[in-house]
């Protein structure tokens, strides 16, 4: 049995015990890791994103996909450098820990967990929403939004149990199952693009319904966050979360992260072009917000509805099958990666250490069970796919924003550490990435952002409860000074969002306050957020951990990467 290194300072990453056996299996090769990210990127986003973005931005949704792709690639490049340097499980929760200490590490991990644990349920909802076209009774429309019925809840439970079982069986099961699914997930969207462009392409659609940009530049930016664009691109970081279980991670992680994003951006832009061009001009008579297909196709499955309207019944059938495979495959991955984040939080002692235990197959079974339980809670009558997209986007992008900060801090404190992939022009691209991430959160609107801030507050309460109930000798040191920028950062995001002009609804009330107030009109709110982000970036880098403390927080990462010793658990080797 492995034990905690008693000499290691509490809150620091303990060094891996020599010869440790309770370690995560390193069984994922470069293709498996690449497909893990690709499989996460190609999920329900491709099934709904083209319609959702075009109803907000019109044909200019094409610009939204380009902007979103540029933004996420910037963030992916920062992840690629740190992921190759520190190939550990749940990296998103641990990079801020290395750079700014325990409190910032918990915050980064909690942000990532909020985005990841919410994704599996939304993917299952998307699958069942499409399935309602041929299996009645799985979902119903309530207030214009599809929600699960009792029958749908039972099917969703069965799917989540299946995902959890595959994850508990081990990372090789996860990788091999996902590899088979991803070939299908790539083939069907590519086939859809080819068939739609070849069958029906109306160039005039790109200027119909009010012109190319009927809702202005603000519509373009709103579609990036609220139209499902960023949501569709999310997932490249899965290669980071499973980095502790990859063979040759220093080579494989950068290839998987960058390769998956390039493929995703090209595919999603082509899908938007095909969707816009294939619409019958008559469907645009009342503008882009009124696009509809027979039989509620726009609600239960826009691409399948479009294929049916064009007389392509065979393609519609393939799309209905893919509506199970694509979201289901992504849900499978996110059950696994959200559990790795829980594992990382437990390993750093932010939550009870039992969450860092591994089972006989060396996977975090308790963390997987926790992800399942959270998913089942989220299946309760909460808003459907379209309403949850903004929340997942903001939570995940907030976690992404912590990475360029960590990269810049660690560049200064560990300049000589081996970097298999080195972000070029990091002095410019790192702060730019941080600014872009915060702008994306602004674009989600106050209606989304206040819910995210409440979820963050809940996480801080849980940290406090865990801290209060943990024996003093096992409590992490929270490194308050080095995270002193965090609270002003979160408050500032909330204030600017509330004063800004972005919202996906006409009104959003919290604590009796309606927002956004439009005190900062469109353009000014974007500028203020950019200036605020630069100020926070400068403050955070100034408050970074000194080199000696960085080394204590990281521990012997090389040895950990070789052994990934549990240290905190009681699992048995396979």
> Would you say 241 and 90 are in contact if contact means Cβ atoms under 8 Å apart?
yes
> Would you say 213 and 64 are in contact if contact means Cβ atoms under 8 Å apart?
no
Query: Would you say residue 485 lies in a domain?
Result: no
Pick from 168, 124, 120: nearest CA to 147? 124
> Would you say 379 and 156 are in contact if contact means Cβ atoms under 8 Å apart?
yes
Reduced 3-state DSSP string for 323-337:
HHHHHHHHHHHHHHH
CA angle, 537 as apex, 534 and 538 as ends, to 5°? 90
pLDDT of res. 189: 93
Query: Would you say residue 146 lies in a domain?
Result: yes
How does pLDDT run across 293-312, given as a tens digit for each residue?
655 544 557 888 888 888 99
CATH number of the domain enclosing 91:
1.20.1740.10
How does pLDDT run across 123-162, given as a tens digit for each residue?
888 888 777 777 778 877 776 667 778 888 888 888 888 8
Per residue in 186-213, is it b (16+ CB within 10 Å) or e — as a string? bebbeebbebbeeebeeeebbebbeeeb
> Would you say 408 and 426 are in contact if contact means Cβ atoms under 8 Å apart?
yes
**Total number of domains in the chain:** 1
Query: Would you say residue 229 lies in a domain?
Result: yes
Backbone angles phi, psi at 558, to 5 degrees: -60, -45
Query: Would you say residue 522 lies in a domain?
Result: no
Can you tell me the distance from the alpha carbon of 97 to that of 114, in angstroms, rounded to the nearest whole number?
A: 17
Local structure of 270: helix, strand or coil: helix
Can you tell me the distance from the alpha carbon of 349 to that of 369, in angstroms, rounded to the nearest whole number?
A: 19
Query: Would you say residue 286 lies in a domain?
Result: yes
Radius of gyration of the chain (CA): 23
Can you tell me the distance from the alpha carbon of 327 to that of 40, in angstroms, rounded to the nearest whole number?
A: 9
Residue 382 has pLDDT above 60, yes or no: no
Query: Would you say residue 15 lies in a domain?
Result: no
For residues 268-275, give the mean pLDDT: 95
Pick from 92, 420, 70: nearest CA to 239? 92
Using a cut of 0.85, tell me whether the model's pTM lies above it.
Answer: no
> Would you say 151 and 138 are in contact if contact means Cβ atoms under 8 Å apart?
yes
Can you tell me the distance from the alpha carbon of 293 to that of 299, in angstroms, rounded to the nearest whole number?
A: 9
Residue in the structure block whose two tokens are 């509620």: 296
The CB-side HSE value for 104 (13 A sphere, CA atoms) comes to 29
CA distances from 62 to 167, 270, 276 (A): 36, 9, 9
Q: 164: Cβ–Cβ under 8 A, 6 or more apart, which residues?
A: 335, 368, 369, 371, 372
Q: Which residue has the higher pLDDT, 452 or 572?
A: 452
Helix (H) or strand (E) holding 117: helix 102-131
Mean pLDDT of the chain: 80
How does pLDDT run across 455-486, given as a tens digit for each residue?
899 888 888 888 887 788 777 788 889 999 99
Q: Which residue has the higher pLDDT, 168 or 54?
A: 54
Could you list the residue range(s) of the whole structural domain that residue 327 is in? 30-435+545-563
> Would you say 30 and 573 are in contact if contact means Cβ atoms under 8 Å apart?
no
Query: Would you say residue 217 lies in a domain?
Result: yes
Q: How confident is the model at residue 570 (pLDDT cuts 50, 70, 90)?
A: very low
Q: How confident is the model at residue 2 (pLDDT cuts 50, 70, 90)?
A: very low
Query: Would you say residue 482 lies in a domain?
Result: no
Alpha helices in 470-556 (DSSP H): 486-499, 524-542, 547-554
């Amino acid at each position: 049995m492995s034990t905690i290194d008693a000499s290691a300072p509490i809150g620091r990453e303990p060094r891996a015990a020599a010869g440790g056996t309770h370690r995560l299996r390193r069984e994922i090769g470069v293709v498996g890791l690449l497909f893990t990210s690709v499989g996460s990127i190609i999920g329900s986003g491709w099934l709904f994103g083209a319609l959702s973005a075009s109803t907000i931005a019109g044909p200019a949704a094409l610009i939204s996909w380009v902007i979103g792709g540029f933004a996420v690639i910037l963030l992916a490049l920062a992840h690629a450098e740190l992921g190759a340097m520190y190939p550990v499980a749940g990296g998103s929760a641990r990079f801020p820990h290395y750079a700014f200490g325990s409190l910032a590490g918990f915050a980064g991990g909690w942000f990532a967990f909020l985005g990841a644990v919410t994704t599996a349920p939304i993917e299952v909802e998307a699958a069942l929403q499409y399935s309602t076209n041929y299996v009645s009774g799985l979902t119903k429309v309530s207030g214009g939004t599809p929600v699960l019925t009792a029958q749908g809840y039972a099917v969703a439970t069965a799917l989540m149990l299946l995902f959890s079982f595959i994850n508990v069986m081990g990372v090789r099961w996860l990788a091999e199952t996902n590899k088979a699914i991803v070939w299908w997930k790539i083939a069907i969207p590519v086939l859809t693009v080819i068939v739609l462009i070849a069958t029906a392409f109306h160039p005039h659609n790109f200027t119909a319904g009010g012109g190319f940009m009927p809702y202005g530049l603000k519509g373009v930016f709103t579609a990036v966050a609220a139209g499902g664009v960023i949501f569709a691109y999310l997932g490249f970081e899965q290669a980071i979360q499973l980095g502790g279980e990859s063979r040759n991670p220093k080579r494989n992680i950068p290839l998987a992260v960058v390769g998956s994003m390039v493929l995703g951006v090209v595919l999603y832009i082509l899908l938007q072009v095909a969707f816009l061009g294939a619409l019958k001009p008559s469907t645009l008579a009342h503008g882009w917000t009124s696009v509809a297909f027979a039989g509620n196709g726009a609600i239960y499955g826009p691409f399948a509805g479009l294929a049916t309207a064009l007389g392509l019944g065979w393609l519609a059938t393939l799309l209905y099958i893919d509506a199970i495979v694509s979201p289901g495959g992504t849900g499978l991955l996110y059950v696994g990666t959200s559990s790795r984040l829980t594992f990382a939080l437990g390993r750093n002692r932010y939550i009870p250490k039992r969450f860092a235990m591994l089972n006989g197959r060396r996977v975090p079974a308790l963390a997987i069970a926790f992800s399942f339980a959270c998913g089942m809670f989220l299946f309760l009558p909460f808003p459907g796919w379209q309403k949850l997209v903004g929340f997942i986007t903001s939570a995940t992008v907030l976690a992404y924003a912590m990475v360029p900060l960590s990269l810049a801090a660690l560049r200064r404190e560990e300049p000589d550490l081996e970097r298999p992939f080195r972000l070029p022009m990091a002095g410019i691209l790192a702060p730019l990435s941080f600014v872009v991430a915060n702008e994306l959160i602004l674009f989600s609107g106050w209606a989304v952002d206040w819910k995210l801030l409440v979820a963050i507050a809940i996480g801080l309460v849980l940290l406090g409860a865990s801290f209060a109930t943990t024996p003093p000798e096992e409590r992490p040191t929270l490194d308050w000074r080095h995270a002193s920028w965090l609270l002003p950062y979160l408050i500032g995001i909330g204030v600017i969002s509330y004063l800004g002009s972005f919202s996906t609804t006409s009104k959003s009330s919290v604590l009796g306050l309606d927002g956004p107030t439009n005190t900062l009109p469109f353009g000014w709110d974007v500028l203020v957020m950019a200036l605020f982000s630069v100020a926070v970036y400068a403050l955070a880098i100034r408050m970074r951990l000194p080199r000696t403390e960085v080394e204590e927080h990281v521990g012997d990462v090389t040895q950990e990467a070789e052994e990934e010793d549990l240290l905190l658990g009681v699992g048995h080797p396979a």
